[in-house]
């Protein structure tokens, strides 16, 4: 075998080795990303459970009305968050309870500039994994939406008052096909599901 053939074969072997090494590295990177992503999802699920437990902790041992309301509200949100039938990207949550938008079910942390009314809406996507389709209260009513990216929301026309109380109309306005409607009855909460294609 002449020197030229040997050099060619050696080059081919080197190239094949480099391709194999690249494939091994790429496979390792993909596996690492998948495992990291699963770990992040597990951590977020645990964080959501911890948040629900901490927000509702008073309701487990305290019989006062506020504690019972909070416990029942966050228990319902946690249940919705675990329901795989609701997590196809086309479902939202409508809260038919004015007290929710007053921030009745959350305390104001000491390290935030937001009022309870502006913090409370975050609890829906945080614990259910679905967006809130109910309209936020208007800024002029004293609820300041001026931090945590609220200030970056684009200006928009007020939603027609006839739509505000119609869950499916709001869901369709936001591109959602299904909506979970949360209603309060005394100290309990119910969640009914609407297929907005039929409403």
Domain presence at residue 86: yes
Q: Return d(Cα 95, Cα 101) in angstroms, integer.
A: 9
Task: With respect to residue 170, please indicate whether it lies within any of the assigned structural domains.
Answer: yes
In a domain? residue 177: yes
Let me know the angle formed at the C-alpha of 131 by 90 and 94, rounded to the nearest 5 degrees.
90
Judge residue 80's burial from the number of C-beta atoms within 10 Å of its C-beta, 0-12 exposed, 13-18 middle, 19 or more buried.
buried
Kindly state whether residue 120 falls inside one of the protein's structural domains. yes
Instruction: Please name the residue that has the structure tokens 């494939």.
Output: 23
> Is 151 inside any structural domain?
yes
β-partners of residue 79 are none
Q: Is residue 9 part of a domain?
A: no
Give Cβ neighbours of residue 105 (< 8 Å, ≥ 6 apart): 55, 69, 70, 73, 74, 99, 120, 123
Structural domain of residue 79, as residue ranges? 42-198
Give pLDDT, residue 55. Answer: 54
DSSP string, the chain: --HHHHHHHHHHHHHHHHHHHHHHHHHHHHHHHHHHHHHHHHHHHHHHHHHHHHHHHHHHH--SHHHHHHHHHHHHHHHHHT-GGG-SS-EEEEEE-HHHHTTTT-PPPTT-SS-HHHHGGGHHHHHHSS-B-SPPPPGGGT----STTGGGSPP-PPPPHHHHT-HHHHHHHTT-SEEEEEEEETTEEEEEEEEGGG-
**CA 127 → CA 28, 54, 190, distances in Å?**
33, 12, 16
Residue 24 lies in a domain: no
Domain count of the chain? 1
Give the pLDDT of the chain (199 residues) as one tens digit per residue.
565 566 677 777 788 877 878 887 878 777 777 777 677 667 767 766 666 666 555 444 444 678 888 899 999 999 999 999 888 888 999 998 888 888 888 877 777 777 888 888 889 999 999 999 887 766 556 677 777 777 666 655 555 666 667 889 888 888 889 999 999 988 899 999 999 887 6
pLDDT of residue 175: 86
In a domain, 30, yes or no: no
């Amino acid at each position: 075998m002449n020197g030229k053939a040997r050099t060619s074969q050696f080059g081919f072997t080197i190239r094949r080795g480099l391709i194999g090494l690249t494939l091994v590295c790429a496979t390792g990177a993909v596996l690492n990303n998948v495992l990291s992503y699963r770990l992040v999802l597990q951590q977020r699920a645990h964080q959501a459970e911890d948040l629900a437990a901490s927000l509702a902790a008073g309701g487990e041992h305290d019989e006062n009305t506020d504690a019972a309301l909070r416990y029942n509200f966050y228990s319902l949100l946690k249940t919705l968050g675990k329901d795989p039938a609701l997590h196809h990207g086309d479902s939202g949550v409508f809260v038919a309870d004015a007290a929710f938008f007053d921030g009745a079910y959350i305390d104001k942390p000491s390290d935030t500039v937001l009022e309870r009314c502006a913090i409370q809406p975050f609890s829906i996507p945080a614990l259910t994994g679905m967006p809130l389709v109910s309209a936020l209260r208007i800024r002029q009513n004293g609820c300041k939406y001026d931090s945590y990216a609220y200030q970056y929301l684009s200006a928009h026309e007020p939603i027609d008052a006839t739509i505000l109380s119609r869950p499916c109309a709001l869901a369709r306005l936001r591109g959602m096909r299904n909506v979970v409607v949360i209603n309060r009855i005394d100290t309990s909460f119910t969640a009914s599901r609407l297929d907005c294609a039929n409403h």
